[in-house]
Chains A and B, each alone.
Chain A
Amino acid sequence: MIGMNMEDYEIVLSARADGRLTAKDYINGLTTDFMELHGDRLYGDDRAVIGGIGLIQDIPVTVIGIEKGKNTQERIEHNFGSAGPEGYRKALRLMKQAEKFKRPVLCLVDTAGAFCGIEAEEHGQGRAIADNLYEMSTLKVPILSIVNGEGGSGGALALSHADRIWMLEDAYFSVVSPENCANILWKDTGKAADAARALSLTAQKLFKAGLIDKVVKSGDMKGLASDVYKELHSLMQKSTENLIDDRYRRFRKVGY
């Protein structure tokens, strides 16, 4: 496994590297008949979040992903994968739609963090993220979240209140970026590698701590597709009550 031999900070850098697969690649690789659905029905259509419906083999699914884009033009179009409140509200709208039609939700998480800006704040960035955590906690359909690149703090968490959280072996999930952490603690962004190690942010470490459920081998889309199918299939066997209770317990036990 890649993650085993890499320094924690190298994993952070590789999670951000150019040329990585983005949400669109996973949507293409994991689903068929995908159709994108736009807008939050409240204010706008945040292109940092893409969402829609499709099939995973014979299972209809709702897919929601944070898209970073691959070249300059795409990156600008998708706001470098930093979503504002409209993005999180679009995600929630699509999740509620999935609940109505009883199809599971697949989230693809790859963001340096929620967008920082005056508009984002005044449109309720905090409330939008909070709402997702709140509503996802009792959503009546299975939710599987895969962190395929950067799991940047609250902005990534807002799509990760799931029955299962998986992470690519070369992805990270962290409360704060290692650079910011080093800056706050030691006034020295050069110590980001030390911060990365201390933050315990790699897939391997988070799996060992029981905070995520699976470490996904990178570069094996077929294997991932088959695992996703099996997982969704098995989650769909649960009664709604068990599903929601188990999801509650999944987060309830964290930290104590």
Chain B
Amino acid sequence: MEFRKFFLKANNELEGGSILPRARRITCKKCQKQVLVSKIRKNYFVCPECGNYFSVRCRRRALMLCDRRSFRELYGELESRNILDFPEYDNKLAAAMEKSREKEGVICGEGTIGGIRTCIFAMDANFMMGSMGAIVGEKITRLFEYACDHSLPVVGVTVSGGARMQEGMISLMQMSKVSAAVKRHSDKGNLYVVLLTNPTTGGVDASFAMLGDITLAEPGARVGFAGPRVIEKTLNQSLPKGFQRAERVMECGFIDQVVPRDKQKEVLERILKIHSICR
């Protein structure tokens, strides 16, 4: 029953976030061309005209990577509260839920990839810029603990502006909490593959995004700790071309491979296969 709901929901419109209207054609922001929505969808949400990457909602992400009908959501009932009674946070949460059609900025679950049982999390840029609050941290921590208990690999897709300031120190400390859970999972010999997507910055970059055994990234994705405008302002100079882009971050030594969207499932399948034999 639940599966059916996903598919109906997912097929309703282009999964580029609610910025994209329910139309047959949309204008690509990069090449300004009118493109058929159905064509974009078939092309892994990449513009068939210019190769521009549209953002992908978390649920669609999980479905794109998992084998057909294998994904089962976990901890989907968890929902954020305004713990600090922070001004305007209630409204922002409500707006984020409406925009993303999710209860939180990350979806967690279990499925198979190339037939291999795997735990998956995927973050959602439409939920307050993929920011990490207590529930995002809690869900990912639970997933790593579950994967650790069952000796399962974890595949994570990150997209985040960083820690969610409306939850103050509680959100900052999610970095510590998740990192500790990743360590426990790793110390038992389990595999964690992370796929960095645009943008992965701030507190997520400075924690579980950078802790994978194997680190993949989408072409052109911004990956970095400090925001580019903050750096520009601090240094009072413009930034070099390609700075903080996946290709450059790979040159700097922090990414194993930049993988185009249509190859991601295949690459993950290969990695998981090799590790399933090694153990």
Contact = CB atoms under 8 A, between A and B. Distances in A.
B235 interface: yes
A251 B180 contact: yes
A116 B176 contact: no
A118 interface: yes
A204 interface: no
Interface residues of B, number: 57
A160 B223 CA distance: 24
A124 B169 contact: no
A137 to B, nearest CB: 4
A183 to B, nearest CB: 11
Contacts, number: 175
Contacts of A251: 173, 176-177, 180
Contacts of A122: 243, 248, 252
Contacts of A116: 226, 230-231, 234-235
Nearest to B172: A175
B111 interface: no
A54 to B, nearest CB: 27
B41 interface: no
Interface stretch (B1-9, B56-64, B98-106, B201-209): B201-209
B159 to A, nearest CB: 15
Interface stretch (B11-19, B84-92, B270-278): B84-92
Given A137-B179, A255-B167, A124 B207 contact: no
A255 B231 CA distance: 30
Contact of A255 (B173, B208, B225, B239): B173
Contact of A125 (B177, B180, B206, B234): B206
B168 A114 contact: no
B138 A256 contact: yes
Contact of B176 (A117, A133, A185): A133
Contact of B179 (A130, A153, A173, A199): A130
A175 B168 contact: yes
Given A116-B231, A125-B226, A157 B173 contact: yes
Nearest to A153: B172
B207 A130 contact: yes
A87 interface: no
Select the residue from B134, B171, B206, B240 with max chain A CB neighbours within 10 A. Answer: B206
B184 A248 contact: yes
B211 interface: yes
A137 B176 contact: yes
B36 interface: no
23 contacts: A116-B231, A116-B234, A117-B231, A121-B224, A124-B210, A124-B252, A124-B253, A127-B206, A130-B210, A134-B182, A134-B183, A154-B206, A175-B169, A185-B87, A185-B165, A194-B87, A200-B169, A209-B170, A211-B170, A252-B177, A254-B137, A254-B177, A255-B135
Given A118-B231, A122-B248, 12 more contacts: A124-B252, A126-B205, A130-B210, A131-B210, A133-B175, A137-B180, A161-B176, A161-B179, A199-B165, A252-B180, A254-B170, A255-B134
Interface of B: 83-84, 86-88, 133-135, 137-138, 141, 163-165, 167-177, 179-184, 187, 202-203, 205-211, 223-226, 230-231, 234-235, 239-240, 243-244, 248, 252-254
